[in-house]
Structure 1
Amino acid sequence: MATLPKDFIGKDALQHVAEQVSKEILMGPGYTDAEEMDRLGIDIVSGVQFKRTFHILLRKGGTTRRKDVHTKINSEAGFLKERTLTVKLAWDHYTDSIDRYVETVFGTDAQGQYPLSTAATEAILRNYADNLTACLWNGDIDLDKGGENVPARDQAMALYDGFHTCIKHDIEDGIISEANGNLVPCEAITAPVDNNDSTPYDNFLAWHMKWDARLRKANTRVYMSELTAQYIAAGYANKFHGNFKVDYEVGGNFKLPGLSRVTICPVADFGEGDRMYATIDKNFVYGVDTESNQTYVGVKVGTDDDMRDIQFQIQSIQGAGIKNPFKYAFCMSDGTLAPTEFLAGDYDNTNLVITIAHSDEDTGKIDGTVNVNNVAYSKPVETTVNQILSIEATDTTNYKFVNWSNGSTEKKIQITATGMSMGLTAFFKKNG
């Protein structure tokens, strides 16, 4: 049996630390991006228990008219529509060194807790919460239909359906459409062509005026990419040439004077394109099942590979959705949308990227060659963690090697792959 560190806090204490930390981390973006969720007006619901049903009364148009004592009229109040928020189970394993879970320097604090072990546990479990957050907009369960043959990149984005995917399904089901008034065409919103071009703002305003009157009267948030928001703000500035200014709020939201009920909410990982969603507050929902016994974090000391490993298993149940997609609470544009390359981690094989450059001011043709493990470098080299890489620079007729970007002046060096993408530059100088 492996000898454990003398000051290891023990499995029971570590399990307690993990459980304390996991209570917040299992909330996913509700923990990692709490301020962002508040800025966007996204409702965070706990205790979902796999499904949460929202009942929405779709109101019919009234037939109220001047009273005629001889005529009876009937107006339909509308009908109830059920909207279900479905949450899905996600899980992961993380392996760490037992040496991080000792308390040799500070020991326990005044409350008998373990500050170093808590910090280490929180750091490793936060990766899990980051993965959940990455799926908030672009997550798509269908990406994982191929099982184990699906690339890790796609599996990571298949934890639950994000808002874009939920909206896509509503469009496919005919719930969101031009006929229903919750999909309203909008002219393209692109960068102004000059300082007098107000087209982005004009197009946004024209789209806003086509919303259902009830939505225009409500306090609304409009989600869009950061670029689209910048174009609208620039178009507004061009329209009024500084006589009126966009009202920015803490966090990046802003209002356009004259549209006091509309809050523009730029979203970093929204995607590329000019699609926009206008919605009432708390209409977009992120739900977490906090009551299931399948939501937990477990700790194991020792693995098949190394008895000094610490292994965490963490799993939780969560999902995203829209409560009310109907025109008095929601409206989307027909703009383009392409997913942003946004992931919480590097799910591809890590690469070594080498650049050949001059060390002087010469701007002529760059010459010089580099070999990696005795193969001429021509494109990024895939690496594995702790792989030893032998890299050699070779002089040419017109150029001679000077140094590497890591400071070494040796033509042949060895480096160890870190598990992350790495960059290295070989500097050459022209002869003469």
Structure 2
Amino acid sequence: MAEETLHLGQTLHFEADPFAAGPSAARHDSAGAILVAGGRIRALGSAASLRAAHPRARVVDHGQALLTAGFVDAHVHYPQTRIIASWGKRLIDWLNSYTFPEEMRLADPAYARAVAEDYLDLVLAQGTTTVCSYATIHPGSVDAIFEAAEARGMRVLAGKTCMDRNAPEGLRDTAQSAYDDSKALLDRWHGCGRASYVITPRFSPTSTPEQLSALGALWAEHPDCLMQTHLSEQLDEITWVRSLFPQARDYLDTYEAHGLLGPNGLYGHAIHLDPREIDRLSEVGAALVHCPTSNSFIGSGLFDMAGLTARGLRVGLATDTGGGSSFSMLRTMAAAYEIGQLRGTPLHASQLIWLATRGSARALRLDDRIGNLAPGMEADFIALDLASTPAIAQRAARAEDIWEALFATIMMGDDRAIAGTWVAGQRTSPAAS
């Protein structure tokens, strides 16, 4: 029988979607506990009741720390770890100046392994327990991220990035090799342990119609897989797409026409959507991923969180490493709040923490396994110190409820707020206990 561990502290979990139900969708217990055994959450309740029911469980007392699900980052580019916070380019220039040269370096399997390991350690220290990542065109870059995740026990989603045009020599594949390599990697990794393979055309400008069709055919053969790509990030990008696909009704149609629109589709950014695109995304039940630090850092625009969630679209939250300027989902939540303010629709703390946990898990079709504290869920969780710095502590001392206290950490917190990260019930950061 697996050893039982009882974690005591404040607990926060969701019973509904706060975008629909408001803050009452969440349940907060100021003296709560979670029981963990065999890598899963076995029970959730008050500290007193669970201590009485499980007197032999090992007890870890987190004091006033807030226990919540680990963060789920729904759109990242782990190969861009070492070029994060590169100065001052628009999207297309940024790709050519920084991204493509760095991604070429991951042709070296040893370099890819080193970047993957560094990246996962960085995000674990920030409280992120699951990521959905683009790799590079090199199959070894996919192996690198899945092998590094397996060594850490993490649930990770990733796929080979496919590009057969408008990219430098050394970063282009072909329609056939994109299909063949992706299929081989899917067969090797999808469902292996906690790994999920994601079919990954970078975006329409870097794939010919033939390659998009090949990847659409692969997705049709494996409809349980997710497919991730980019959509309507910047206006000049949309103009470029129109010139490359003159017959398309809009940007989304460049995917739809090639079998790359469906309920398991993940569309990153989705800022400048036409009404038809919103209608189709809603009709098929696709998911969008909001990348607020990236959208402000690269100057892309303001995501319409209120309007798109009102249409019933599933929305995840993401750092977009390294177009985003931070590995931290706390900073990403703060940026999402700021963008909401600029649109006149500020997000409540309950909505922000939902987006970073259960909302992103739902976008990835994993909310039955991760993203919440509930019996049966995988035990990926964090302990948040709500007084991690003097500035935050003095504000939290004046908080009238958990939401005011948590909001101060969202807006001002960093890795110092992460008192510990647990993956499948095992502590990973900052040190084993």
* Same fold? TM cut 0.5: no
Shorter-chain-normalised TM-score: which range?
A: under 0.3
Q: If each structure's helix is expressed as a fraction of its own residues, which one has the higher value?
A: 2
Point out the structure with max Rg over C-alpha: 1
- TM-score calculated relative to the size of structure 2: 0.27
Structure 1 or 2: more strand by fraction: 1
TM-score, structure 1 normalization: 0.27
